[in-house]
């Protein structure tokens, strides 16, 4: 596994090496040891898989408030998404800045998102499937969000979202 720093401290792109032969391919999607060697921790409490049947489906921008904040490892296992993390940490030099990249079933990259970031994505293909590893159990009382189109953040989405849940449409501006 290769770990690449992003412009936002604590946010990492994780690249998996793919081994291929006549049977197909094989790759490691997580290694506690590799994460620890890079100063990262992800004690997985839950794993989720989302299916997004329609291109242009937006999910986000979500986070959990303390003390239920969570680290996430997000990977697109089928199709393509544009994945985004927004730094919401109060004392961070990059507060309210965002980072986005395309994750796909072909590029085998993942985004490690630490506590204190909001997260969301838009599907770039039909039938995009996204896997999450999450460090904490979901706590409904701690669920929070910020508007996906907040002008203070200024996320540059590569496509105009077509499908957004009512809950995600109602997230407040910063």
- Report the half-sphere exposure of 62 (CA within 13 A, side-chain side): 22
CATH number (domain holding residue 54): 2.60.120.10
Do you find a cis peptide bond into 67, omega within 30 degrees of 0?
yes
Given 108, 112, 119, 132, the catalytic residue: 132
- Report the half-sphere exposure of 163 (CA within 13 A, side-chain side): 10
Q: Clarify whether 171 is annotated catalytic.
A: no
Residue 174 belongs to a domain: no
Q: In the predicted model, is pLDDT for residue 41 greater than 90?
A: no
Q: In the predicted model, is pLDDT for residue 82 greater than 90?
A: yes
Q: Clarify whether 51 is annotated catalytic.
A: no
Question: What residues form DSSP beta bridges with 58?
Answer: 122, 164
Least Cα distance to 153 among 31, 8, 16 occurs for 8
Going from the C-alpha of 118 to that of each of 19, 94, 107, 111, the distances in angstroms are 33, 13, 23, 13
Q: What is the DSSP letter of 167?
A: H
Q: pLDDT above 90 covers what percent of the chain?
A: 97
- Mean pLDDT to the nearest integer, 83-107: 97
Given 62, 108, 119, 171, the catalytic residue: 62
Range of the domain at 64: 2-169
Count of domains observed in the chain:
1
């Amino acid at each position: 596994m290769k770990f690449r720093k992003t412009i936002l401290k604590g946010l990492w792109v994780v690249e998996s090496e793919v081994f291929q032969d006549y049977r197909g391919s094989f790759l490691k999607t997580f290694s506690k040891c590799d994460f620890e060697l890079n100063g990262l921790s992800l004690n997985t409490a839950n794993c989720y898989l989302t299916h997004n049947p329609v291109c242009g489906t937006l999910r986000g921008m979500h986070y959990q408030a303390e003390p239920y904040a969570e680290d996430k490892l997000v990977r697109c296992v089928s199709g393509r998404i544009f994945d985004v993390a927004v730094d919401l940490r109060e004392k961070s030099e990059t507060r309210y800045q965002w980072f986005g990249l395309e994750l796909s079933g072909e590029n085998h990259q993942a985004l490690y998102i630490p506590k204190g970031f909001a997260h969301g994505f838009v599907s770039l293909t039909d039938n995009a499937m996204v896997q999450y590893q999450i460090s904490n159990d979901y706590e409904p009382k701690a669920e929070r969000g910020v508007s996906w189109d907040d002008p203070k953040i200024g996320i540059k989405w590569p496509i105009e979202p077509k499908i957004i849940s009512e809950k995600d449409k109602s997230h407040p501006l910063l």
